[in-house]
Structure formats: C-alpha cells, structure tokens
Amino acid sequence: MSTQTENGTAWAMVTAYPSHGKRYYRFMAGLGDRIDVQKHIPGGACGTPTAEARASEVGRWVRLGRSTTDVLGLINSWSHKK
C-alpha cells in the first residue's frame, strides 16, 4: 500500500524472502526509493499455518492504513525476544 506525502510516496508491504533454502515473510516500509523498516514476521517458513496467518494479519493492518509503529508492535508481540 502506498500514500502520497509532501516528501514522496510512503509505502508498506508484506513480502517473502529466501533464507537457508526456505522462504519467510517480512514487513517492509519506506518513503520513495528508501527502505526504512525491514522486520521478519515470526512464525516459520512460508506455507506453515502460523506464518500464513501472521502474514495475512500484517497485510490486513497495512491495507487498513495502520501506522508502521502499530504494525511493528503487532509483529513484536509474536516474538520471543521481548
């Protein structure tokens, strides 16, 4: 999802990335060409029920226009590293 601001286009998305022979989900957000946030979404590899549910929930929050801080709070609530 993207939003036009006076400084450029702010954007946020959920994407899959390869690591250790599998694919995992991450949340990314930025402004214009710049990536400001990259955060792994805990829950295992793509295709597992937990990973799919969490990626879907993050995507829903992005579509609803929730702030990057709110989305990061959601992701952090799933992490064992608190």
* CA within 13 Å, CB half, 44: 7
In angstroms, the CA 11 to CA 23 distance is 22
What confidence tens digit (pLDDT) does each residue in 60-77 have?
999 999 999 999 999 999
pLDDT tens track, the chain, 82 positions: 666 666 778 999 999 999 999 999 999 999 999 999 999 999 999 999 999 999 999 999 999 999 999 999 999 999 876 5
CA distance 15 to 8: 22
Q: Are 9 and 3 in contact (CB under 8 A)?
A: yes
CA 53, CA 46: separation in Å to the nearest integer?
Answer: 10
Domain positions in the chain are 2-77
pTM (2 d.p.): 0.88
* CA diameter of the chain: 41
